[in-house]
Amino acid sequence: MSSAKLLLFALAAHASLLASCASAPMIESDPSRPQGPVMIATWPFGRLAVDAAAESLDAGESGLDGIEAGIRLIESLGSDGSVGLAGRPNAAGYPQLDACIMDGPSRGAGSVGGMEGIVHPITAARRVMDSSRHVMLVGEGARWFALEHGLETVDVSDLDAKKTAWVERERDPEEPAEKGHDTITLLMLDGNGDLYGGCSTSGAGGKLPGRVGDSPILGAGLFVDNEVGAAGATGVGENVMRYSATTVIVEMMRQGMTPKEACEAMVHRIAAVDPLGYELDVCFIALDKQGRWGAAASNQRFPFAVGEAGRSQVVHVDAVPRR
């Protein structure tokens, strides 16, 4: 994407975030099979990912290309300070990035965790899927692999000093200017009826170096089953990982639940057994093979983006009613 076009997207991002303050309440998606692709993405900045993915499809690229293009844009913009190298730093003062991608038709998947200095972790995840015999690479190995495949990096020569300083102050964390744990997760049903998904994040601000959240963990932050549907998560990763949440959501859809019902049921299922109850700070999105979409949130208003019938919008759900 050209720098001029990236600037236009950045301006659109600001407008989209402002518009999300008045996002429409979620309505039930049309149960009839949609014409053309259907997409859903986390948070208001997800609308930019949806639009970029749609632009990729319009240019004749694949659904997987669209997922990568949409997420790459958010990584470039550093939207909400929670994605890409502009994301919130860890306790030692630098970002470590997580991402994964899943290809429904081939059952392929790639993932990277705790990666340093690589501008587009979503592309690194795709390279793992396309160009290695593995599914997940982490830390220094993930960075080596990305560099070997020509991915863009920033200078990381200052990281050793930051790591040393953190150890010397007895691992007393640097408090990030703003804590948070948002993620860009993008799901797609293309015009052929195939499903794709991806996610990327810099993780929780102030996390311990080496902490990996749910985003790159298949079945936790993201799961795609081309026969049934796809699901993604955002929020406190530990509260997603411990329940393999997106796998369960997809299995609930397999048993006949709509995406909205499955997302809500997952929140209730976790809250029923977790010591935190509903104070989980997690949100889910889902999309099924019929093009129906839905979302749920444990304890907050959750705005997210939807693209269908050639247009995109930001809608929201309120926290699920507590039982």
Q: Is 224 helix (H, G, I), strand (E, B) or coil?
A: strand
Q: How far is CA 44 from the centre of its chain?
A: 12
Cα 121 from Cα 198, distance rounded (Å): 11
Catalytic residue among 42, 123, 164, 183: 183
Return the structure tokens found at 55: 């632009």
d(CA 238, CA 36) in angstroms, rounded, equals 35
Tell me how crowded residue 82 is: count the other CB atoms within 10 A of its CB.
26
Instruction: State phi, psi for 200 to the nearest 5 degrees.
Output: -155, 145
Distance CA 147, CA 152 (A): 7
Task: Clarify whether 183 is annotated catalytic.
Answer: yes
- Closest to 187 (Cα-Cα) out of 295, 79, 26: 295
Name the nearest CA neighbour of 273 among 233, 241, 243.
Answer: 243
Beta carbons of 201 and 225 less than 8 angstroms apart: no
- The residues assigned a catalytic role are 183
